[in-house]
Amino acid sequence: MYYTITLNPAIDMLTKVENFELGKLNRTGESNYVVGGKGINISLLLKNIGKESKALGFVAGFTGDFIKEELTKQGIKSNFIETEGFTRINIKLTTDTETEINSQSSKVNRTNILDFFSSLDELTSEDTVFLSGNIIPGMEDDDFVHIAKKVKEQGANLVVDSNKDMVLHTLKYHPFIVKPNEFELGEMFDVHLQSLEDIAIYAKKLQEMGAQNVLVSRGSKGAILFTHSGEIFSANIAKGKVVSTIAAGDSMLAMFVAKYDETKDFPLSLQYASAAGGATSFSAGVGKQELINELLVQINVEKISL
């Protein structure tokens, strides 16, 4: 079974306003509300390709209820810890430009955190856990690292996708894969990556520090995969009209892991991952199986040496 962890989920409120003015009363059109958060995006992509997952994390109040209900509607299991206050609403305001107003969720307390740790007790060696996104107010960085530790103690497979510090601190628990983009990889080591050779140097450093496989996304330049056996594969991206790149990286990661579990075939998994990233970029919401399959023919995966 796949488990996804979203410690600080959100509802995205998508709305349009003409001629926005600070300090004034602005009127919007009708708003759309969609569930957000990296782990939840992964659950949605997995659902779209026919894989079951269970979403874990924290929710609070009427906004948290919406998240649970939406996941249930979409056929995704969840076991969130309920806390005081309200899960945040992030506002995506379309005027001439795109303005984002990201809110802070209410805090979790130590009891909530311990309850969350207990929710990991059901993990077994049959499971894969996506530990994604950032911590929620009230949690410490150490708690994030403890989650990675506990996942490994339960014998489950670990995938980490978070900010640079969290990724670096969890490498000792040997995540199956980490997925920085080119810029984030440079940031992890405080360097500016100039070439493919540079990328290779630091991707391999992540492997030395514990990552089994490293997938580096490079925007329009595609992605490069460094496997545990020392192979390197590159892939291009699909062409199409971008609707929103939100969740494209999450889709890539989810598809990669799911396809690898099925086939143990790295280049094939990279091809599907790249198609899934494109499918989500070209869709309102997370990409569907059909579009992923359509885009596959556009993706060329090559074995390279650096």
CA distance 150 to 5: 13
| Residues forming the site for a copy of itself (CB under 8 A) | 13, 15, 17, 20-31, 33, 61-63, 65-66, 69, 85-86, 88-89, 91, 93, 95-107, 137
Min CB(83)–a copy of itself separation in Å = 13
Nearer Cβ to a copy of itself (62/208):
62
Specify the amino acid at residue 224.
I
Nearer Cβ to a copy of itself (21/197):
21
Nearer Cβ to a copy of itself (17/209):
17
CA distance 132 to 115: 19
* Residue 226 near residue 306 (C-beta atoms within 8 A): no
CA distance 6 to 273: 21
* Residue 71 near residue 47 (C-beta atoms within 8 A): no
Nearer Cβ to a copy of itself (31/118):
31
Min CB(276)–a copy of itself separation in Å = 25
Structure tokens at 35: 């569930």
Q: Measure CA of the first residue to CA of the last residue in the chain; give whole Å.
A: 36
Min CB(200)–a copy of itself separation in Å = 31
CA distance 225 to 273: 11
* Residue 160 near residue 34 (C-beta atoms within 8 A): no
The owner of tokens 């997938």 is 215
Nearer Cβ to a copy of itself (20/117):
20
CA distance 254 to 39: 9
Min CB(28)–a copy of itself separation in Å = 5
Residues labelled as active-site residues? 250
Nearer Cβ to a copy of itself (98/121):
98
Which one, of 153, 158, 177, lies nearest residue 256 by Cα?
177
Min CB(53)–a copy of itself separation in Å = 22
Concatenated DSSP letters of 216-280: EE-GGG-EEEE-TTS-EEEE-------S--TTHHHHHHHHHHHHHHHH--HHHHHHHHHHHHHHH
Phi and psi angles of residue 211, each rounded to the nearest 5 degrees, phi first: -65, 135
Nearer Cβ to a copy of itself (99/300):
99
- Coil, helix or strand for 164? helix
